[in-house]
Structures are given as structure tokens and as C-alpha cells.
Copies of this chain bind each other. A is one copy, B any other.
């Protein structure tokens, strides 16, 4: 860009910001460079962008004002929660024409009704804080993510967050009873229903769940609550292969009556990575096996989860499917089992920039897919390390690739090539490039290259019908402008 043109752009941006300030309460708009930079940087710190300003409204009506002002001025809005997303859905990509709109100041519980097993909560409330408030009432909100100390409920809804309890309780979509949404024209869709069952035709809230803010801004949500699980049995098991882990999952569904709240698989490398991530971690099980499963059974009342776990393991250790294992005898031991899973993530992060994926295939093809994909990476990038783990029951694998250290090929190029290799295998397995993380900006192009024309036309028709000026989270999910 020539410097005259750049100056013109700067002037236009400056003018837009000035007009935006005139229309909004002064303490809602921040253009301070440090703050804008912070709100334009992704969770891992891999991507840093910028924006005209950060808007931090305190109430639904202020969000609506901001949306109306941006619509008038032709400013794109990037709605943002706790900025823990892994697909760049909340990170701006056009500094001169976009603002970040953070929901963080809208962080109250509006109501919590134990008698109805429901709550209404604002979009900016941090998930963990909400779970704690709910627990104080003897109830349970089951969404459970690594990022739960930072992520916000509006972001969870907008990305239809998954996590480790999907098996038992479903994705965020299945936990939502109603939404309040500021639409692209600044009107407020007031749909904070607390009804458990409501079949009045088209279910509008479904449109906004998983839309990553491309159709409007979720400002509040009413959710289902559950009885608190009083008993949790946790085990870490060693097996001979991923096939065996899947066979164990099939048995567990039947024998444990869908009371499993988590069923994760981990590779042999998990222990080494966990130690790198958390150096003083006491490993709960000897390394040296080919595959590991983390199994959690939760229950309340007259269901004894310890007995369930015990009888289930008796059978599967008896016939040799499970080679070794440990059942937590205390909450501290259960915690140390989960720390292997969490430390593994931390350990990967410490090895530097790498390819993170979030793939799914039909359950029956999961083991074949992982084998073929890892072999293809070995052929294409000898020396790169695959770390495959994930949520077995959902057919969801995070097949990450750590680049070859000190190679002549730059890390970014290796990552790009590894992604192409994996996607080629995945396409042959009819898999998804995003099992739970959403599309954001990171996967919008890959999605666009794969989505069939009929589906794309429908997505575009809906986007244009609801956001005709394309101001809501531009270039997130589908690229139209």
C-alpha cells in the first residue's frame, strides 16, 4: 500500500472512530493501543491483530446502541467473550473497519431457579464463576472445558462449545433453553424462555447457537441445570491400542448405562508431555503402554458409581482388554488423573508453535483414521511428532502435529503442509474439520473449499436475510465480502 493511500485509510479510520465516540457513552469506547492489542490477540498468542476500538457495553441496551451506531457508520463488529476460542472467531482481521465488542461487563446472573432447574445469565459471565454459583444451590451446570476459568457463557453459546462432558450432557446447544440476542439492526430478540419444552414452530435460538456472532450478539442465555452428581468414579486405564479403547467405550456405554461423564483417550506420549507441562506431577500409572483411557462415571442418589466402575473393570481386566489401571481412591487422586490430561496440553504448548486440530469421523472409523493420518504425517514430515487424543465417544480426535525441531523448513510452512496432509485423509473419511471448536476465521477458507454449493447458498441466504449489510463478525465462518 502506498503511504498516501495508507494515510487516507488512517484518516478514514480516525473519522469513523470519532463519529462512533459521539454516538456512545464515553466509558464504553476504548482506543488505547495497549488495550486494543490485548483484545486483538488470540488465546495462544499466535495471532495479533488490531481494531478501531474496543467497546465494552454494560447492558443489553448499550449493546443495541453500539450495534446501531456501527451499522450507521459501516463498522464491522467482532463480538468477543473470554477470548479462549481456538478458531479466531473473536479476533478482528480488518483494523481500520472493525471494532471488538466485549461482553465482559455483562456478567451477572439474572435469576437462578432451583425449583425449575434453570438459570438466566448474562453473556459475559465466566463459565467457572457461574458453575460455582450453581453448585452453591446444590445444582450442576455440566459444561466443562479446559478454558472454563476464562471463557464466558456467551462465547460458549456462540461457538456451541463441547468439552469433556459432551458424552453425558451434550454440547452447549443441548443446555440452552433460550437466548437474548441483539440483531444486526439493533433490535433485541427477547427469547429468554425458561420452558423445558416449547415447540412453537421454527426454533429461532438454534440459529444463533454456533453462529459465532455472525447473525447477532448473544447478550444473555437461559440454561438447563441438573441435579449435582454426588459421586464420581475416575479411572486411568492402559490398553494395547486405540481399537481396544473404542471397544472398551462400547462396553462401557452398555454396562454403565450411559452414566459415563467422560471417556478420553490419550497416547503413550501423554505422560512425557504432562511431565513437561507440570514438572512435579506424580504419575498415577506406569507409562509404557500403547493407549490410555480416562473414564469418569458420575451419579447421584441411589446409584453407586464406585460399584459400577468396579464391576465394569472386573470384566474388562478379566478378559485382558484392560492391561493395567488405577481407580482414584480420593478426590486428590482423581485430580492427579485429570492433571495428566491437562498437563499434556500444557506440555504441547511448551514445545512451541504447532498444528492443533479438532477433527471428527464416525466412531467405527476412528482408529483407522488416526493410523492412516499419522502414517501420512510420518511420510510427509519425517521427524514431526503426532499427538492424538480426544473424546472417543464423540469420534472427536485432536490430532496435533509438533513440527520437526531445527528443520530448514520454517515452522509455519511445516504446519501448513501437515494440515493439508491431514485434511486430505480426513476428506476421504467423510470427517469434519471442526468437531467442537467452530470455524471462526481460522477455518473459514478450508470450510468454504469443502462445503457443497447447495449448503453454501443456504448459508449465504440466511446470512443476507438477517445481516444484509454484513456487519456482524465479517469473514467469520463464511467469506462474503
Contacts and interface: CB of A to CB of B under 8 A. Distances in A.
* Chain A contact residues: helix, strand, loop or mixed: loop
Interface in A227-270: 227, 229, 250, 253-259
A406 interface: no
Interface in A88-126: 113, 115-118
Nearest to A187: B454
A147 to B, nearest CB: 15
Contacts of A189: 454-455, 458
A199 B438 contact: yes
Contacts of A308: 302-303
A399 to B, nearest CB: 14
B458 A198 contact: no
Contacts of A170: 174
Nearest to A358: B199
A433 B197 CA distance: 11
Interface string A445-476: 00100011011001101101110000000000
B201 A439 contact: yes
A210 B204 contact: no
A201 B201 CA distance: 22
Given A116-B362, A452-B190, A465-B465, A201 B311 contact: no
A18 to B, nearest CB: 31
A395 B195 CA distance: 7
Interface stretch (A23-31, A43-51, A70-78, A159-167): A159-167
Contact of A434 (B160, B173, B198, B207): B198
Contact of A458 (B183, B212, B439): B183
Nearest to A301: B255
Number of copies: 2
A211 interface: yes
B183 A171 contact: no
A203 B201 contact: no
A194 B458 contact: no
A296 to B, nearest CB: 14
Contacts of A325: none
A277 B288 CA distance: 67
A363 interface: yes
Interface string A347-360: 00000000000001
Contact of A199 (B162, B391, B458): B162
Contact of A461 (B174, B206, B301, B465): B465
A79 interface: no
A60 interface: no
A202 interface: yes
22 contacts: A159-B199, A171-B197, A173-B203, A188-B454, A193-B432, A195-B361, A196-B396, A197-B432, A197-B435, A199-B210, A199-B436, A200-B432, A200-B443, A201-B211, A201-B214, A202-B459, A256-B302, A257-B259, A257-B300, A257-B301, A302-B312, A461-B465
Which 10 pairs of residues, A with B, have the shortest CB-CB distance? A255-B301, A206-B206, A465-B465, A115-B364, A197-B394, A201-B477, A257-B303, A198-B432, A227-B254, A461-B465
